[in-house]
Amino acid sequence: MERTLIEGSDYFVHLVRFANTANPAAAVLNDDGTYDIYLNTLFPCWDEAMPHELIHVAEDHHLICVAIKDCEERADHGKMRVRCTEPGVVSVLISPLLG
């Protein structure tokens, strides 16, 4: 599956100091179909958290009726390639779960 996501159009990234370090990031579906991705500033880097949240967005995990555990497993173990076509525009290619 490949999906093009445009920052500022499909999703918006916010740096927020969470109350604790329980989660490095969270994605929230807005009423207009866009997503807000909140990155916890208590974590030193988001190189794993951001792709995890982009998988949730690209696969519409907030819109499908499956167990949260299954969506989290998919986002944790899914293989994703991101190709930046221009600043703020990413093409997300997600391969099926292996094994």
User: pLDDT (tens digit, 9 = 90+) per residue, 70-92?
Assistant: 777 777 665 555 555 555 565 66
Angle CA(85)–CA(15)–CA(21) in degrees, nearest 5?
A: 120
Question: Which residues does residue 80 pair with via DSSP β-bridges, in sequence order?
Answer: 94
Looking at residue 7, the DSSP 8-state letter turns out to be B
pLDDT at 30 over 80: yes
Cα dihedral 21/35/10/46 (nearest 10): 0
| Local confidence band at 93 (pLDDT 50, 70, 90 cut-offs) | low
Question: Which residues does residue 76 pair with via DSSP β-bridges, in sequence order?
Answer: none
Q: Which of 4-8, 57-61, 71-75, 92-96 has the lowest mean pLDDT?
A: 92-96
Q: What is the pLDDT of residue 86?
A: 58
